[in-house]
Amino acid sequence: MEAVPSGNASSFDAIVIGGGPNGLMASSYLARAGAHVLLLERRIETGGGLNTDEYFGFRFNLHAIYHMMADVMPAFRDLDLWNFGLRY
């Protein structure tokens, strides 16, 4: 998947670098407030927790802790993510 925005940096109200959990939340809050947001992510998929990385020959899901905390994260409720398909 590749999305290429039209225009230049000055055509956006905010540019968020990183499509991990915090970048996605920040972008969502900004867009909900009416900002025209550009989200930049170096990987093919956003989400951060979707990624497994290898260190010293072992594979790790570095953001797995977020999954255990989903029910107590205010942003998950604020952004109504359960109605957009978030499931655990």
Residue 65 domain-assigned? yes
pLDDT tops 80 at residue 4: no
Confidence (pLDDT) at 2:
46
- Give phi and psi for 40, each to the nearest 5: -110, 130
Residue 25 domain-assigned? yes
Confidence (pLDDT) at 3:
60
Q: Over range 75-86, report the average pLDDT.
A: 83
Residue 1 domain-assigned? no
Helix (H) or strand (E) holding 14: strand 14-17
Provide the residue range defining the domain that includes 72. 9-84
pLDDT band per the 50, 70, 90 thresholds, residue 88? low
Q: What digits encode the pLDDT tens for the residues 16-70?
A: 999 988 899 999 999 999 999 999 998 887 877 777 888 899 988 776 666 667 7
- Residue for token digits 């999954």? 67
First to last CA, the chain: 25
Confidence (pLDDT) at 5:
59
**What total of structural domains would you count in the chain?**
1
Residue 38 domain-assigned? yes
Count Cβ atoms within 10 A of the Cβ of residue 27 and give its class: 0-12 exposed, 13-18 middle, 19 or more buried. Answer: buried
